[in-house]
Chain A
Amino acid sequence: MIRALISRIKQGYRTYPFPKKEPVLPERFNGRPVLNHDKCDNCRACEKACPTGAITSQDNKVCIDMGKCLFCGDCTSACPKGVIEFSKDYRLAANIRKDLLVSDKEIKLAQAIDKQSRRIFGRSLKLRQVSAGGCNACEADTNVLTTLTFDLGRFGIQFVASPRHADGILVTGPVTENMRLALKKTYDAIPSPKFVIAVGACAISGGPYIGHTETSNGANGIVPVDLYIPGCPPHPYTILDGLVTFLGRR
């Protein structure tokens, strides 16, 4: 026992004061893409390089769909002009699917739920996690939020062991054919009102598995999604920011 106490002192206090203090992200972190349209000569090399079809050209302007983007940087290597850059901005969550499209400078961040919902869920949100073909990276970076570095519990958010105890689902993965029914049943088992949070490129659009007959191109056709958190996988702070912003806590 004394050993555990000494260890506790040695390991120290490690919870990061988020959101009061902005997190420190890795130097090479790929966050929200930034487009320099004036450099673009419409060669479309980025479109061809993109593995998931996240890049399209709209009115001769490059547009990146963060819901499909793997943040792999294949486009930046392919572009000879440096049109596409990835910033360190980790705040990527959005409420509406089309808000994930990046073309102009304008950034549409997720909005908090309405006042009445905040009264109910603002300090207590219980989620059921369903992995539906996820590769265990989104799952791992969601799970890590419960460790003491992030300490998700201090925001009143908790992952629960039964849909009957939950206020919503956090879904990961492209929703495989083999998980479609289980996801639907889990959703139906949660009492209303309820939320669905789609985490990762797979759950939003199918990610690398977009167009496979074995998957459903994300959760949206099966359950109604209220919050999209893009990334492959999203950084834990991207997920945490999404959840906390959604609850109107930052």
Chain B
Amino acid sequence: MSRQLISIYNNKSTDIGAVPNLPIDDFRETVINSVNTGRRIAAFFGLPHDNDSLKLIIVLADDHQSILHLASTCVKEKYPSLTPDCPQAHWFEREIAEQFGIRPEGHPWLKPIRFHHSYTNNDVWNRSANETILPCVTDFFRVEGSEIHEVAVGPVHAGIIEPGHFRFQCNGENVLHLEISLGYQHRGIERQMTTAPQNRLIHYMETAAGDTTIGHTMAHCYIFEGLASCSAAARAQVLRGIALELERLANHTGDLGALAGDVGYLPTSSFCGRIRGDFLNMTAILCGNRFGRNFMRPGGTAYDIEKSHIDDLRKRLNAALKDVTNAANCLWSTPSVLGRFEDTGILNKQICSQLGIVGPPARACGFDRDCRYNFPSGIFQFKQMPVATWDSGDVFARAYVRWLEIQHSVAFILDLLDSIPAGNIQNKISAMSPCKIAVSLVEGWRGEICHVAVTDNSGKLARYKIVDPSFHNWMGLAVALRNQQISDFPLCNKSFNLSYCGHDL
């Protein structure tokens, strides 16, 4: 097994030539065996190789050994799909098919995921290069029967939400199947990462999923630091940790409020809506922007923190914790709320494992899957973050895990504020080394953010792969909704609160 995979640490780089290049059958077997023994697919993507072949690179995460395993294989036109034996490859294989026109033969549901033209001249669905591709105009899974009806929702939704299309197969109120079709937010980020002017790259990262600005920018900074074999300044590492947890606090608080709103419990809904803003305003203390734009740069951070800011943050954090505790406890002590949260939208633990679900939905199924713990980087190497889990897999579990994490994050930041090391905030970053591959995993508030970059022989980016946690988790939402009432969809959806733009890129 050791010769079939190369092992690297999170945020580190290795020579691209050192990644074992296996024949496709060995590659398949290695990946399937790895996943069967508890590893997960963190990333699986194509890298244009020779003129007519594509190198498929896989990153397998071993949560318990804190090691990433890489392997590759070269394919032309088609290869035997991994999905039938390894369900968590399903979305990745559809993505590769769409981007490079390579067919995974035997894939059970081979459809586009973002509805754009292929990067190459090949198209799996035989569409010509000048044909207009209409989003979500495709086959949908259908349940037949005289009492079955279909409900189509989106792309434009009723509230202030990003666009996506949901297709429900219902028997009365009961949802037999939900299929989610995305792609409306596709802006071509991955394609542009290798061709756009250098000064735009960080701004793509900051807006890949705007509510996860810190998470994605952090992974990106680690990638650039890894490829240049540099590291961020110690003081900046601490500031980054604070920013990452503030982002989690704002979004988790917002989610608790939104969940309360979806079951018609208005006190917590309105309190948390306001408290979420308090956390965003704390990020604005750091850098002037509520989402953490312009805060992080490769090598460190763009802004330092002053004594007055530390005092201000401490005061505001304590006040916000008091308010959010009060607001959250209203939820846990109200039977009508618990009645709606409990046993709704259960994600089966086995399916969660098979699909490679990440973040709070995985922890709500009892998995201790958290990059801050399993793949710690920066300040998380020195200060351990407890992993919050619950095991019922329902809306309640996903809400309660968020509440536990809110408490952990506040304690973590308060602790850090007392011990920020002195020194500079920005280390000089040298040029990226040629022919390297680097992987970064960061635990964003939605879950594992994975960035992978490959440099060419002149040290420029040849491929930049972004895997938002939503990429893994949208299927989890679809499965959790089976045999639920369609009226519970908003509640289940909110309990996952996935990103459309982070998926569509």
Contacts and interface: CB of A to CB of B under 8 A. Distances in A.
A, B assembled together: yes
Contact of A139 (B162, B188, B286): B162
Contacts, number: 178
- Max chain B Cβ within 10 angstroms of own Cβ: one of A4, A11, A50, A236: A11
Given A11-B323, A140-B211, A29 B333 contact: no
A174 B161 CA distance: 15
A8 interface: yes
Interface in A139-167: 139-144, 146-149, 159, 161-162
B326 interface: yes
A141 B281 CA distance: 12
11 contacts: A4-B330, A11-B326, A11-B327, A50-B199, A131-B162, A135-B211, A135-B501, A136-B209, A136-B211, A179-B163, A208-B204
Interface string B177-195: 0000001111110001000
Q: Which 3 A-B pairs have the closest CB atoms?
A: A135-B210, A137-B210, A28-B288
Contacts of B281: 26
Interface stretch (B24-32, B36-44, B152-160): B152-160
A52 B203 CA distance: 10
Interface stretch (B168-176, B271-279, B411-419, B472-480): B271-279
Most chain B C-beta atoms within 10 Å of own C-beta, residue among A3, A130, A178: A178
A30 B289 contact: yes
Nearest to B505: A214
A134 B197 contact: no
A134 B501 contact: yes
B163 A174 contact: no
Contacts of A142: 160
A49 B197 CA distance: 10
A159 B160 contact: yes
Interface stretch (A58-66, A67-75, A98-106, A222-230): A67-75
A186 interface: yes
B408 interface: no
B294 A208 contact: no
Interface residues of A, number: 66
B11 interface: no
Interface residues of B, number: 61
Contacts of A8: 267
- Main SS at interface, chain B: loop
A159 B286 CA distance: 31
Nearest to B162: A131
Nearest to A131: B162
A26 B285 contact: yes
Contact of B288 (A7, A27, A52, A202): A27
A141 B285 CA distance: 17
A21 interface: no
Among B116, B192, B294, B499: residue with most chain A CB under 10 A: B294
A133 interface: yes
A70 B293 contact: yes
Given A28-B287, A178-B115, A131 B293 contact: no
Given A134-B501, A135-B209, A182 B160 contact: no
Contacts of B197: 51
Contacts of B184: 132-133, 176, 178-179, 182
Contacts of B323: 10-11
Nearest to A72: B294
Contacts of A212: 187-188, 192
Contact of A208 (B155, B200, B285): B200
A208 to B, nearest CB: 4
A144 B273 contact: yes
Interface in B318-358: 323, 326-327, 330, 333-334
Interface string A168-196: 00000110111101100010000000000
A208 B286 CA distance: 23
B160 A51 contact: no
B290 A141 contact: yes
A1 to B, nearest CB: 9
A119 to B, nearest CB: 28
B156 A72 contact: no
A214 B188 contact: yes
Interface in A1-23: 3-4, 7-8, 10-11, 14
B156 A186 contact: yes
B207 interface: yes
B163 A131 contact: yes
A181 B291 contact: no
Contact of B333 (A3, A139, A147): A3
B68 interface: no
Contacts of B188: 209, 212-215
A138 interface: yes
Contacts of B276: 144, 147
Nearest to A70: B203
Given A147-B274, A178-B186, A135 B160 contact: no
A3 to B, nearest CB: 6
Interface string B44-63: 00000000000000000000
B135 interface: yes
B140 interface: no
Nearest to A6: B326
Contact of A134 (B156, B159, B162): B162
Contacts of A134: 162, 185, 210, 501
A53 B195 CA distance: 16
Given A51-B200, A136-B211, A161-B159, A7 B330 contact: yes
Interface in A87-131: 128-131
A29 B288 contact: yes
B13 interface: no
A235 interface: yes
A191 B74 CA distance: 55
A232 interface: yes
A235 B290 contact: yes
A233 interface: yes
A72 B287 CA distance: 10
A139 B501 CA distance: 12
A242 interface: no
Contact of A136 (B199, B302, B501): B501
Contact of A143 (B160, B284, B286, B500): B160
B34 interface: no
B270 interface: yes
B134 interface: yes
B489 to A, nearest CB: 15
